[in-house]
Amino acid sequence: MKKITDQGGALLKITLAMFIFGTIGIFVRHIPLPSGFIAFFRGIMGTVFLLVVMLVSKKKLDYSAIKKNLLLLIVSGMFIGINWILLFEAYRFTTVATATLCYYLSPVFVILASPLVLGEKLTLKKIICILCALAGIVLVSGVAENGIVGGKGILLGCGAAVFYASVVLLNKRMKDIASYDMTVLQLFSAAVTILPYSLLTENIEASAFSPKAVVMLLVVGAVHTGLAYVLYFGSVKSLPAQTAAIFSYIDPVVAIILSAVLLSEPLTVFGIIGALLILGSTFVASK
Tens of pLDDT along 3-38?
A: 545 667 788 888 898 899 989 999 998 899 999 999
pTM of the full predicted structure?
Answer: 0.84
Query: What's the DSSP call for residue 226?
Result: I
Work out the pLDDT band at 88, boundaries 50, 70, 90.
Answer: very high
Per-residue pLDDT at 5: 53
Reduced to 3 states (helix: H, G, I; strand: E, B; else coil), residue 204 is coil
Tell me, what amino acid is at 261?
A: V
Work out the pLDDT band at 151, boundaries 50, 70, 90.
Answer: confident
Q: List C-alpha distances in Å: 280 to 135, 142, 182, 188.
A: 12, 19, 30, 34
**Length of the chain measured in residues:** 287
Residues 6+ apart with CB under 8 A from 203: 34
In whole angstroms, give the CA distance from residue 165 to residue 278.
15
Query: What's the DSSP call for residue 267?
Result: -
Residue % of the chain over a pLDDT of 70:
90
pLDDT, mean of residues 98-125: 81
Helix ranges (H only) for 94-178 are 96-103, 106-117, 124-141, 143-146, 151-172
Per-residue pLDDT at 269: 80
In whole angstroms, give the CA distance from residue 244 to residue 56.
26
Per-residue pLDDT at 287: 63
